[in-house]
Amino acid sequence: MKIGCSSWSYHRTIAEGKLDQLGWLRKCAEGLEIDGVELLDVHFLSTEEGYLKKVKKETIDLGLTISCASVSNHFTHPEEEKRLQEVEKVKKWVDIASYLGAPILRIFAGSAKELGKPGVWEEVIKCLKECASYGENKGVVIGLENHGGFSADEVLRMLKETGSSWLRLTLDTGNFPADPYASIKKTVKEAVIVHTKFYEFDERGREKRLDYEKIIPILKDARFRGYLSIEYEGPGDELIDVPKAASELKRLL
């Protein structure tokens, strides 16, 4: 397993103008001393080729691997037009991921609360099939995150009904609505990247809400060899707490 970081870990710092995407890349390489970066759509200063080329060159110069690109979308809109717009948004980011050399594009399905409405499930599967097919054509794996309240069983059903090996799982350790450890164990075989959620730390620098002494062995037993992408969502200072998360993962690995 390798350690990476999602730019979401610094979203407040970036929003306050204290850090931009390129500065964050340098922090990952020189401050956190990790190997991979997960690039979120909301933190790109531009999607024009000139800027994308600059991001790609910076990661190379810093010795970083782009483990994943991430787009924020959802397919549970009641209006077909909006769903189609979301599919086109995902396709645009597949193209960007391909240009950057990112092997995975993280996507969302939508809201679990909407799934019970007539026809919604079928429409979500239709969107996922189209995105998986487009990703396959571009050589980019679509990593569906367990985001939006979906259970382990619902996520696995989505993957099965989509029926494409190019749709896999972005496994977020903190997003399952019930028993995170059992849910991780149930779904880890489908994971291509893992979001390691961190919220707050005890006096020893250990994550308090999630027990990574339990989680890391589950991943090891499943022979997961991909990236652990740090996703800090705590209330503390990101500039202080994200390095703690990196140190904790290094200790455990």
| pLDDT tens sequence across 142-191 | 999 999 999 999 999 999 999 999 999 999 999 999 999 999 999 999 99
Q: How high is the pLDDT of residue 98?
A: 98
Question: Looking at the predicted structure, is the pLDDT value of residue 251 above 90?
Answer: yes
Quick one: CA torsion of 175, 181, 182, 185, rounded to 10 degrees? 90
**Of 42, 106, 117, whose CA–CA distance to 79 is shortest?**
117
Question: Looking at the predicted structure, is the pLDDT value of residue 242 above 90?
Answer: yes
Q: How high is the pLDDT of residue 13?
A: 98
Dist. CA 29–CA 151, nearest whole Å = 35
How far lies 105's CA from each of 100, 136, 191, 211, 213, in Å?
Answer: 11, 11, 13, 27, 28
What CATH number is attached to the domain comprising 41? 3.20.20.150
Token pair 């202080």 in the structure block, residue: 240
Give the mean pLDDT of 63-69: 98
8 Å CB contact between 209 and 176: no
Token pair 């499943």 in the structure block, residue: 222
Q: How high is the pLDDT of residue 124?
A: 97
Give the mean pLDDT of 190-201: 98
Question: Looking at the predicted structure, is the pLDDT value of residue 115 above 90?
Answer: no
Confidence band for 116, pLDDT divided at 50, 70 and 90: confident
Q: How high is the pLDDT of residue 34?
A: 98
Give the mean pLDDT of 191-216: 97
**Of 14, 13, 27, 96, whose CA–CA distance to 64 is shortest?**
27
Pairing of strands 227-232, 141-145: unpaired
Rg over CA atoms, the chain = 17
Q: How high is the pLDDT of residue 47?
A: 98
Range of the domain at 91: 2-252
* Overall domain count for the chain: 1
Dist. CA 113–CA 105, nearest whole Å = 24
Please give, one letter per residue, the 3-state secondary structure of 150-207. Answer: CCHHHHHHHHHHHCCCCEEEEEECCCCCCCHHHHHHHHHHHEEEEEEEECCECCCCCE
Question: Looking at the predicted structure, is the pLDDT value of residue 24 above 90?
Answer: yes
Q: How high is the pLDDT of residue 240?
A: 97
Q: How high is the pLDDT of residue 109?
A: 97
Confidence band for 107, pLDDT divided at 50, 70 and 90: very high
Q: How high is the pLDDT of residue 225?
A: 98
The number of beta carbons lying within 10 Å of the beta carbon of residue 50 is 7
Q: How high is the pLDDT of residue 207?
A: 98
Dist. CA 215–CA 176, nearest whole Å = 13
Q: H or E stretch including 91? A: helix 80-100
